[in-house]
A and B are shown apart, each in its own frame.
Chain A
């Protein structure tokens, strides 16, 4: 199993695509930080849900959270979707899958290895964004505690201060939550990836499901149904910074993600072990 993990990792990591994604994940946070710096610290500026952004220039330690909050909604979804949707279908589209299985490698283990590699890459992508944000943030804004004003963020409570220690701890927890929130996407993408030999199809389907989920989630008339959407609790972690609370929604989010993960992993495993390999 270790051998399979290693060989699958090399196959995925050595792609030009992986390098381009890594560059984007370092470059974009840096650009965002430079943009915040350029805009200057003008707290009276109009605020349309920018939340963390308005505070980010107070401390480099808040930048990773700010950057993750913008990038996790779309860009990281696209990247995670590409990684997960590609997991099995890339080998299939090259025609190499049948040769790996003739090695002979158990189908269950191969799928587990491919999904694990995809999972590692998705976590790495999230962490890379956080680290790039942190480095750029510290470089431009330094390390300071943050004062969160009470009413400015639409909250009702009094303002509060986040120490540097709290910032670091909450940033780490937030990044982990963001990465974990791709668990449903990882399992779905892997499942779609076993269904087709065209990687783009699996990637498109995975990203599509997430975008539809986000759109439907914004329709409040759908009521409680929305609590089951894979994206519903995606932003639950931001209250750690904006309201000084650990929202119960984070626990709900973890439960929902875990449920999707189990269901789609089981489906992927069942299908991959049964299917005729034609590629």
Chain B
């Protein structure tokens, strides 16, 4: 198996007494779209800064493309990153910012993927205006243009839709969608749960610097809480499901059943229903990621 694109092991970062990141271990494989979820101050940005070589971990290991991360390490050439908001040299035009940024790495601007980047930025003639005159949304789009210049394999995005209006948010999400369709691996932080739900295949949940959950988005939604089931014979299904060890409670609701699970997977429910010869019409989590997320955070608060 090839190396994971991103991997961390026991990653810690302390600022004096504050443990901003505390023993975080995870990995991102090629093609995965990972959401890094957490409330304000959870340590999301700190993790992304360490991944891009801007901050040094207090302890732990950090690898990109299988190689350890050091300040300005060569693997960063394969990464397109935006940490906190996009920022530029304000007295230069958008275009000159792109050019100087690119050329600072010692490469010719002709080698950059400029056409694609400009199409993404969609700034038209504003690209020749000073960045000082840009709105936050324009800067953010120029930020995407900049990170796409190198045709990156991995995108590291820190709250990419922060500060944007709904139209711009949709554009950025569609853009991320297009990039992942083209095979990009993504690690993006967010506190918008619906964003992670829409955009990501996987999610990490962190709180107070600690990893609370790591899995596919559907696992996270399904791993705690309830599932809504519709079958042709509701009463029989209720008896069958209530007897399963992974189920704690089954209630009737509307035309279907709400099944509360202790653990296990939703597919266990489906299997039990179909083996009993019943017809499964609908099976879906009643919970959105938001609930799962809040549950996880609440569970962690109780534990600590």
Residues of A within 8 A of B (CB): 3-4, 6-8, 10-11, 14-16, 91, 94-96, 98-107, 273-274, 276-278
Contacts and interface: CB of A to CB of B under 8 A. Distances in A.
Nearest to B92: A14
B83 interface: yes
Contact of B54 (A7, A11, A98): A98
A104 B72 contact: yes
Interface string B91-104: 11000100011111
A106 B77 CA distance: 12
Contact of B87 (A15, A95, A276): A95
B89 interface: yes
Contacts of B103: 3, 6-7
B90 A7 contact: no
Given A7-B101, A7-B103, 8 more contacts: A6-B103, A10-B96, A10-B100, A11-B89, A102-B53, A103-B101, A106-B72, A277-B49
Contacts of B79: 102
B72 to A, nearest CB: 4
Given A102-B53, A103-B76, A7 B104 contact: yes
Contacts of B106: 3-4
Contact of B105 (A16, A91, A105): A105
B71 interface: yes
A7 B76 contact: no
A3 B107 CA distance: 8
Contacts of A102: 52-54, 76, 79, 81, 83
Contacts, number: 85
Given A96-B87, A98-B54, A276-B49, A107 B72 contact: yes
Contacts of A14: 91-92
A110 B91 CA distance: 20
Contacts of A98: 49, 52, 54, 83, 87
Contact of A94 (B81, B90, B101): B90
A99 B77 contact: no
Contact of A104 (B55, B74, B83): B74
B210 interface: no
Contacts of B84: 95
Contacts of A11: 89, 92, 100
Interface of B: 49, 52-56, 71-74, 76-77, 79, 81, 83-85, 87-92, 96, 100-106, 146
Nearest to B102: A103
8 contacts: A4-B104, A4-B106, A7-B104, A16-B91, A95-B85, A101-B72, A102-B83, A277-B54
A3 B85 contact: no
A207 B52 CA distance: 34
A141 to B, nearest CB: 39
B87 A99 contact: yes
A269 B126 CA distance: 38
A94 B76 contact: no
A6 B56 CA distance: 29
Given A4-B104, A276-B56, A277-B55, A107 B71 contact: yes
A94 B53 contact: no
Nearest to B73: A104
A7 B109 CA distance: 12
A278 B54 CA distance: 7
A101 B77 CA distance: 11
Given A98-B54, A98-B83, A273 B71 contact: yes
A12 B88 CA distance: 13
Nearest to A108: B72
A16 B85 CA distance: 25
B87 A94 contact: yes
Contacts of B73: 104
Give 3 nearest A-B pairs by CB, closest first: A95-B87, A104-B76, A104-B72
